[in-house]
Structure 1
Amino acid sequence: MLAAAAFAPRLADSRRTADAPTQQAAETPTPPAAEEARAEAPAEAPTPPAPSPAPAAAPEPERTAAFRLAFDNRDIAGAQIAALRNVDQPGCLAACRRRADCRAYVFDKWNHACRLKADAIAFTLNPRATSGLRDDSPLPRAPAGPIAMERYPSRAFPGEGYRIDASEGPQACEALCRDDAVCVAFTFRLDEGVCHLFATTGEYFPNALADSGGKRQN
């Protein structure tokens, strides 16, 4: 018993001795050089924010075909792709612009009608027509055939025209127009005995005291 009791303090002392380095190691301060290195180490750079998505490209504006100035007193020979009624000239032009296959249009100013053309082969002389042609279309050939006269009985064109002559009747008035290169249409006033020659015409209207006519040429 005495031997065991004597051994117990020694065992306790040996355990305290064995634990001492561990406790001492835990209590050992960090060397100054390590502290300085830790202080001088650069801070980690922050992660840059993700770039904003690029804005969506704006849609290109719709392009419309450009047209030459209108050709008064000109019809166009070519393949017809559509016919419209009860329209004015700006409406006829707009209808052609809306179609990629429309190369030209013809507006009938006496009857408010519109014809759209896929091509334009030749101009024809027609006092009721005003036509338009895309800028990128070749100019049609000019009319060169013989001149023919159309008659419009009991019809009169509005206005005085560019020339007024006394005349014996509608036939004489027609001859005056045929022989004048500027004239495209005429009206003879039966009540006045005078002939009105027109270089361009508006919509004709009924008149029992008048006879009219116009030139045609292919």
Structure 2
Amino acid sequence: MMATRVELFVDYENVRHGAREVFGDPRRAPSLFGHVLPQRLGVLVTQLGEAVDPDRKLTGVTVYRGRPGPKSGPKRQSEFARRVAAWEAQPLVSVKTRPLRYHVAGRDNGGRAVAWRPQEKGIDVLMALDIAIGARDDLYDVAVVASEDSDLVPAVEAALDAGKRVETAMWWSPAEPRRRLRVPGHNVWNHKLDERKFVHLRDDTDYLALS
């Protein structure tokens, strides 16, 4: 019997910020809090579905994240590069990035920009394309989408229309209920990842200190 090919698609900043909001205080938690190990997340969501499909096999994990530029400073760029390199050292993980866009967040007395606020741009589109095209080209049997971004709904619909199974994964706490990604007319299976699972997945490696 052929294995059921499982692909995990990770909107990394959505996942990281979600963990900070559900399991910590976003304003007071250490900057490292919320980081996770993508391949370990892929193994976990694959295992969570084995009760109904014991032939599941993780075949790929793709991480989507904005790439810092010079305005973020050399240390931040080095930290990002080291983290990505550690992810890609895992056999099933690939990382797709787009450059961050920067908006002025502060000016000096002369009106010169001295602080910048980064913003991801195009990450959701890149992820949506991979979900939809992967379904069309039969690159997976199950897509697990780790994101709460409703902009991904059309891509999920395309995958479902192509006959693929789509599952979602999100952080969950009884004290912090969150709205999961929903697709009208479809019952999409959602993996609720509680604090115990977050502890299993979290990554406290300080890549900034290593840079």
TM-score, reference length from structure 2: 0.23
Going by fraction, where is strand more abundant, 1 or 2?
Answer: 1
- Larger relative contact order, structure 1 or 2 (CA cutoff 8 Å, min sep 6): 2
Larger Cα-atom Rg: 1
Going by fraction, where is helix more abundant, 1 or 2?
Answer: 2
